Structure 1
Amino acid sequence: MEVNVCVGSSCHLKGAHAVINKFQEALGEAPVKIKLGASFCQGRCTEGVIVAIDGVIYERVSPDDVPSLVEKHRGGCGIR
């Protein structure tokens, strides 16, 4: 699973750091390799925080959204 969180100015101000922290918490004990990264502006500044998971773009992501997003994508990387 590859997760990229936008840390551009707008997403940063809308809480990107808290979203990253929640992903680190949620993915910390995963039994497979998961790449968690940050990216600069993804061109959707009014819709931030923007998160891309395996190429699927999610808009207006909050820390509360992270567990359901991880669960949704777990099937694609063999995590149960």
Structure 2
Amino acid sequence: MKLLYFAWVKQKAGVAEEDVTLPGEVRDVSGVISWLKTRGEGYELAFADLSVIRCAVNQEHGDFSTPIAGASEIAFFPPVTGG
């Protein structure tokens, strides 16, 4: 599965994108985040405050309870405002 990180999420995680094989017990976006936080301090920092993280699964906005079965891509980014 491809994981994408944008803006300061990318800076804190230390990577813009990566291809990963998730553990079988990971079933939703929340599980992905929990798993990522075990991978190092950068991920812990990036996902420390989930109130400022948004996600998209296969380019569709989702939330942390969005299932990932069949997904090929998950993106993480801060809230975006228009102007």
TM-score scaled by structure 1?
Answer: 0.31
Structure with the higher helix share, 1 or 2: 1
